[in-house]
Amino acid sequence: MAPSLVEQHSIDVVPDTERHGSAFSQFTLWLGANLQITAVVTGALAVVFGSGAFWAVLGLALGNLLGGAVMALHSAQGPRLGLPQMISSRAQFGVRGAIVPLVLVIVMYVGFFASGTVLAGQAVGELTHLGDTTGIVIFALVTGVTAAVGYRLIHALGRVASVICALAFVYLGIRLLERADLGTLLADRTFDLPLFLLAISLSASWQLAFGPYVADYSRYLPRTTSAKATFWWTLGGSALGSQWSMTFGALAASAAGGAFVGHEVGYVVGLGGAGLIASALYFVIALGKLTINVLNTYGGFMSLVTSVSGFRGQAALSSRGRAAYIAGIMVAGTVVALLGKDSFLTSFKDFLLFLLTFFTPWSAINLVDYYLIAKERYDLPALSDPHGRYGAYRWQALTVYVIGLVAQLPFLSTHFFTGPLVGPLGGADVSWVVGLAVPAALYWLLARRDTSHVPDHTILAPEPGPEPAPERGVSPTVRVKETP
């Protein structure tokens, strides 16, 4: 029987019998997800806020590689565990304690959904001649339906978007260089450390923000899939796609000057031409945003279910329940998009840097625990049992997480808060470096002293199907798999 197009799993373990695909699927998905207008705007921000294009492009590249490597390490967890990304946080924070980073992740999904929908709504509005507001609503509905269908359609969308958007960006790049001389755009070599660090932070935050949901899209890969292959294909697709888009954005902003700000979609389409070409470019912009917005909606759905199930103990969902969760994310994101569509650019820059503050400590704790403490050995059934191996709350990780947040504040520079050490550093924001290093080191020092919660082998969830009841006084058998 052919597998159903509509996904049946939510936060439960994907059985080995339903695993499929290859690590290359991560390349096409993340390439398509990053060849899109919001990444263009992110690259443009480095120039809009004062940097020359030359150093902006180099800073963005460094941030994409550093942040992308961290993000790809999370992706490699998917085939091993067969679980969505955030549910594995229960091994560090506890079955119920994981709700602390989860709440912030849900806010992130809604924020990214909203920011992406603003730009895609402009494209859909122009394409349909119905205006931005109607375009936002139409785009949100299409996003929700695609996310409800689930994993297979998401990857198919990524494959299509990676090809179509790549061709469009080649064309737009040629048109940009016909309008502006590349040597002139890169002529300003004035180095400004705070602006260079801002460019790194913008792209690093872009990549690190994928960390809480990247394994959602690798969890169906066969358990035998090489971790190295998953890592490199994920990093390759995400770093290449985002750097391509951000470089184009930095050059476009440098060429356009003030004409870019507030008219991002119109300027990009105007490079291509008018008539059918303009319509095609509006479609490409909407397609690229659809790819990433579906990931945000799907990830938000997973995080909501993970949060609720930590208290209710329910992993499987009915089709109606799945649709309700997805609709909740879609409605919340649409409301935020409609309310904030007129002050998008400045708000988005602060939103990116603010998000980075909350996700770097989580990422550091999760990766240190998975690779250095547990060494890829988890008790998967215990991740759903607040009375089991990992308990309801793991105060050690929660305390380190809070310390990681506080440690960043002196170095944080946003529109609504600037730390006391930002001035002595010339205005540079290095909070994300502190947010990775401090909790990683502290959690490793504390967690390695007591590894009693780490199983000797990976304990897998029981395969679906009836099992004979155990005899009185005999514990049921749990399948185990030795970690390679």
CATH code of 334's domain: 1.10.4160.10
Whether 466 is in a domain gets the answer: no
- Residues spanned by the domain of 75: 21-356
- pLDDT tens digit sequence for 400-447: 999 999 999 888 877 767 888 887 776 777 888 899 999 999 999 999
Whether 438 is in a domain gets the answer: no
- pLDDT tens digit sequence for 64-91: 999 999 999 999 999 998 888 888 888 9
Strand partners, 481: 458
Between CA 79 and CA 313 the distance in angstroms is 23
Which tokens sit at 42?
A: 């992110």
The pLDDT assigned to 228 comes to 94
* pTM of the predicted protein model: 0.85
- pLDDT tens digit sequence for 164-200: 999 999 999 999 888 888 888 888 888 888 889 889 9
Structural domain count of the chain: 1
Whether 482 is in a domain gets the answer: no
Whether 450 is in a domain gets the answer: no
Q: What letter represents residue 433's amino acid?
A: V
* Residue where the block lists tokens 């460019």: 199
Give the torsion through C-alpha atoms of 366, 368, 370, 374, to 10 deg: -130
- Phi, psi for residue 379 in degrees, rounded to 5: -100, 95
Whether 62 is in a domain gets the answer: yes
Q: Is the dihedral of CA 59, 63, 66, 69 positive or negative?
A: negative
Residue of 455, 362, 456 whose CA lies nearest to 102:
362
How far is it between the farthest Cα atoms of the chain?
A: 81
Which tokens sit at 45?
A: 């921000």
- Inter-CA distances, 402 with 179, 409, 443, 461, Å: 49, 11, 12, 31
Whether 339 is in a domain gets the answer: yes
Whether 92 is in a domain gets the answer: yes
Between CA 162 and CA 26 the distance in angstroms is 11
